[in-house]
Amino acid sequence: MTFEENLSALSEITKKLEEGTLSLEESVELYQKGVALSAQCSQQLEQARLKIQEHPEKEEQA
């Protein structure tokens, strides 16, 4: 999934958890999915940061 898709899914999970209508089991399951999505987002951001750092001269030429 793209960063944007992961972020959107994480937002949906947050909304569902904040509603407070889920069972404990459903809440825990969604929480775990949210933690995994958050980790994926962090990893994707780190990869993007590294790509930018690898090629700073391209930014300067633009």
pLDDT digits (tens, 9 = 90+) for 20-57: 999 999 999 999 999 999 999 999 999 999 999 987 66
Angle at 2 between CA 40 and CA 21, to 5 degrees: 65
What is the pLDDT at residue 7? Answer: 94
What is the pLDDT at residue 59? Answer: 54
State pTM to two decimals.
0.77
d(CA 25, CA 27): 5
| Residue 60 pLDDT class (50, 70, 90 cuts) | low
Of 6, 12, 3, nearest to 49 by C-alpha is: 3
For 1-22, write each residue's pLDDT tens digit.
899 999 999 999 999 999 999 9
Q: Which residue has the tokens 């949906």?
A: 12
Domains in the chain: boundaries: 3-61
12 and 37 in contact (C-beta within 8 Å)? no
